[in-house]
Amino acid sequence: MNILKRDAGDFSLKDLRVIFEGPVALKFSADSVERVQKARKTVTDLIERDETAYGINTGFGLLANTRIPSGDVEKLQENLVLSHATGTGEPLEDRVVRLVLALKVSSLAQGHSGVRQSTIDALMALLAHEVYPLIPAKGSVGASGDLAPLAHMAAVLLGVGEVRHAGIVMSATDGLAIAGLTPMKLAAKEGLALLNGTQVSTALALKGLFLLENLFASAVVAGALSVDALKGSDVPFDPRIQAVRRHKGQIDAAAAYRALLAGSDIRHSHEECDKVQDPYSLRCQPQVMGAALTLLRQAANTLLVEANAVTDNPLIFPSEGDILSGGNFHAEPVAMAADMLALVGCEIASISERRTSLLVDPHMSGLPAFLVKEGGLNSGFMIAQVTAAALVSENKTYAHPASVDSIPTSAGQEDHVSMATFAARRLGDIAGNGAAVVGIELIAAAQGVEYRRPLRSSAKLETVMSAIREKVEPYTKDRYFAPDIAHARALVEEGVFNHLAAEVLPSCEVS
């Protein structure tokens, strides 16, 4: 298990990817404990003075003007958690819940939420012991934060609901015992601090970001392999072309293609051919993938800020003794970032499918029709390309921006919402479809390169060929094709080729 020692609110994208990819324990600096204690004292001092503050001794939403007697303050927090646990649908994956827990802990530990240190410690224990609350995926509109899903997380601390540990679903009380905990009572402000926040939306968007980084790297590799399979030109990747366009994403993407194709014997074999230009899906890869990379980076920056943010309400400022009610729970930045990522996923898959279409068309490729000999008797990649087309079309429906939608809730008190949770959640479907599309291109391009033998591709692309052939045999005659596509999709989803584009990916490092 990885142990991340950080100050609260100081995660890097690499840290967040580590949390997403495997079990982790968190250790924050001693300063965070002091900050938490000061914020907690601000809350208790307010209660002792019998002053009023939203969510501490008032109702919620439309009921914010209802004062709660001091004797009912703890009951208020319990009622809030239980009444708000209204989620539906399949539970979130453990890797997403792991991010949710880490992000919530980091937010609370910054000392602006007014919770006790023991409450933070309990969440950290769940994380360290791999006890993951079962959080239904649906039921949040992304303001006031992710109320319903985070209520399911918080309910586990009360001994209510279910958790998953080592793949086994069990009661919350059994899960607490594994983490060395017993059901707890929430103190004033704690229920609201646990429920308010954008951690679920942000965790889902980070999942989308990481999956789309895998997709981007694999698509660059597949595109370079297709250039060789189709005897395309590397002139469109010349740095001078990119320099006058000035977009850094395009410049960096073109550099990745040049590095992949450098030293290819296939390219050298047709340097003097009379073909003037390649189709756009080959020639304009730096422009399309560069634009995708720019949006990936922009979304990554937004999500990194949000992952380290304090997003509950009201917020405690101990130095001034102030408790301020605002709107940091509104997840509009996450929703817009997720909408950008949806465009990225759609366009990566779209241009990949167009290259597969070129590969299977003998008039465009100069290769056997549908990349198989004895065409007619064998259909080869004919319907694999149809599958790719179907998935690209499906992704177009997912790409409708979620952030432009809003529906009033809480009797009109919460009259504009972000829809960030759905905006982020659908990225998993987009990335999954894209992984299948790019996987199909990978095996089609590998097939095309083998038709160019004895010529060899570049050293880097030959390692790609080997990785593909470890999972998928050459297609010599028709066979049950679905397992081949599943294996190729797995190469994409597992980030097997990320190291070949690591220099440009926001959360990856060069190995």
What does the alpha-carbon distance between residue 357 and residue 444 come to, in Å, rounded to a whole number? 10
Sign of CA dihedral 279, 285, 286, 290: positive
Backbone φ and ψ of 233, nearest 5°: -90, 150
What does the alpha-carbon distance between residue 163 and residue 160 come to, in Å, rounded to a whole number? 10
Q: Is it the case that residue 510 has pLDDT exceeding 80? A: no
Dump pLDDT digits (tens) for 29-86: 889 999 999 999 999 998 888 888 887 888 777 777 788 888 888 899 999 999 999 9
Average pLDDT over residues 397-419: 89
* Total-model pTM: 0.96
DSSP per position, 355-400:
HHHHHH-HHHHSS-GGG-SSBTTB-TTHHHHHHHHHHHHHHHHHTS
Whether 451 is catalytic: no
Mean pLDDT, the chain, whole residue set: 95
70-109: b (≥16 Cβ within 10 Å) or e: eeebeebbbebbbebbebeeebbbbbbbbbbbbbbbbbbb
Average pLDDT over residues 129-145: 95
Structure tokens at 190: 């704690």
Dump pLDDT digits (tens) for 27-45: 998 899 999 999 999 999 9
Q: Tell me the pairing of strands 168-171 and 162-165.
A: antiparallel
452, amino acid identity: R
Dump pLDDT digits (tens) for 282-318: 999 999 999 999 999 999 999 999 999 999 999 999 9
Please report the pLDDT score of residue 509 as a whole number.
Answer: 52
Please report the pLDDT score of residue 511 as a whole number.
Answer: 36
What does the alpha-carbon distance between residue 441 and residue 472 come to, in Å, rounded to a whole number? 13
Structure tokens at 193: 């601090």
Estimate the share of the chain in helix, then strand, then coil, as percent rounded to the nearest 5.
Answer: 60, 10, 35
Bridge partners, 131 (sequence order):
165
Dump pLDDT digits (tens) for 125-136: 999 999 999 999
Q: How far is CA 396 from CA 40, 418, 469, in A?
A: 48, 21, 31
Selecting among 54, 257, 280, 451, the annotated active-site residue is 54
Average pLDDT over residues 364-386: 96
Residue labelled with tokens 């291109």 = 441
Please report the pLDDT score of residue 71 as a whole number.
Answer: 83
Sign of CA dihedral 2, 162, 338, 347: positive
469-506: b (≥16 Cβ within 10 Å) or e: eebbeebeeeeebeebbebbbebbbebbbbbbbbebbb
